[in-house]
């Protein structure tokens, strides 16, 4: 069983033909930005006459949806987070459960978090107001079924955005996982997380078993932790072995770099590169959720005890499938890989 902690969001995906809105709202290209609720509502008004698609969103939710599609729902998957007592919260819950992911949401009297993703060809800019998702407190964890779910899990996955404005609860979750000797995978998720919660981010990097991130995110973490190079950071992470994975892989660091080769570091300094799969230009839709999908495929392989090089291959495959869809929409066809055939 896999349990994930993250921001349950409702995504609105918009295809734009130019950078007018990106410039108007001062949005980063291929990046994320959190905004006040009034600005998100204003942006939604600006795109109301454009072609839009709605979907359950949030990094951890995307990863679990892809994980369940790829594995054929042979594992239980739980998403833990916080939503509002509103229609959006109910919709997110039903969308997740339709994709085979069980929800353990804490319901708040605050609007459910939402995002707008502006897509311009291969580039995308994501705007979020996480709303109720940030209202996640330690006492709420203690009062709910969350600890018993963690107790039964084989792996916990935590997105970096889960750390913002709820650092005490995030640390509590990680400490519970480590007390239970539960394997923990952490995704840095965004460069700006380093700026928002530097101390807590460093704590997670130092106390998790598996770290995912892209090249820019690892460069930001290396700078935060005062390492001269990403290589020095990786060496530090591998030495922080929590022993939960020591007999098999040791700690694992996975670095993606868009269409360029990625890297997987593990154990006592072992390392290999993996290559992403090509996609025909006319089949490419957008890159929304590609990184989340990669993690879903990688963790599917890991839970099935597949070799790490195969885990990376499976991650590349699931990412390749998602960039052929609009947003992080699951493919209608089943995956071509059968995990039982991989040794």
Secondary structure letter of residue 244 according to DSSP:
S
Q: Which residues contact 49 (CB under 8 A, 6 or more apart)?
A: none
- Would you call 292 a catalytic residue per the annotation? yes
CB 156 within 8 A of CB 184: yes
Distance of CA 221 to the CA centre of its chain: 17
Q: In degrees rounded to 5, what are phi and psi of residue 112?
A: -60, 140
Q: Tell me how many degrees the CA angle 215-271-173 measures, rounded to the nearest 5.
A: 60
Of the candidates 287, 232, 220, 234, the residue with the CA atom closest to the CA atom of residue 263: 234
| Active-site residue, selected from the candidate residues 292, 309, 338, 341 | 292
CA–CA distance, 239 with 210 (Å, rounded to integer): 12
CA–CA distance, 188 with 257 (Å, rounded to integer): 14
Q: Position of tokens 């949806």?
A: 65
List the catalytic residues: 292
């Amino acid at each position: 069983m896999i349990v994930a902690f993250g921001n349950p969001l409702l995504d609105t995906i918009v295809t734009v033909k130019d950078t007018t809105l990106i410039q108007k709202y001062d949005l980063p290209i291929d990046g994320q930005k959190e905004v006040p609720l009034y600005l998100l509502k204003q942006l939604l008004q600006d795109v109301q006459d454009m072609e839009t698609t709605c979907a359950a969103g949030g990094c951890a939710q995307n990863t679990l949806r892809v994980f369940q599609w790829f594995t054929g729902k042979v594992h239980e998957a739980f998403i833990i987070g916080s939503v509002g007592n509103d229609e959006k919260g109910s919709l997110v819950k039903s969308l997740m459960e339709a994709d085979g992911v069980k929800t353990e949401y804490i319901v708040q009297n605050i609007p459910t978090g939402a995002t707008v993703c502006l897509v311009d060809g291969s580039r995308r800019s994501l705007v979020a107001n996480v709303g109720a998702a940030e209202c996640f407190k330690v006492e709420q964890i203690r009062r709910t079924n969350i600890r018993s779910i963690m107790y039964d899990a084989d792996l916990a996955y935590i997105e970096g955005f889960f750390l913002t404005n709820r650092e005490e609860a995030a640390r509590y979750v990680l400490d519970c996982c480590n007390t239970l000797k539960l394997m923990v995978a952490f995704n840095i998720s965004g460069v700006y997380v380093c700026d928002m919660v530097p101390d807590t981010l460093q704590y997670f990097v130092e106390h998790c078993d598996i770290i995912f991130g892209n090249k820019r995110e690892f460069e930001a973490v290396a700078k935060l932790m005062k390492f001269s190079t990403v290589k020095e950071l990786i060496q530090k992470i591998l030495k922080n072995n929590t022993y939960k994975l020591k007999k098999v892989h040791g700690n694992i660091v996975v670095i993606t770099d868009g269409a360029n080769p990625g890297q997987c570091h593990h154990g006592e300094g072992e390392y290999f590169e993996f290559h992403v799969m090509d996609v025909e230009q006319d089949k490419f839709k957008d890159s929304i959720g590609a990184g989340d999908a990669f993690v879903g495929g990688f963790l599917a392989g890991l839970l099935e005890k597949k070799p790490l090089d195969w885990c990376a291959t499976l991650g590349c495959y699931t990412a390749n499938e998602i960039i052929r869809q609009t947003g992080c929409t699951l493919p209608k066809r089943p995956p071509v890989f059968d995990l039982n055939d991989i040794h």
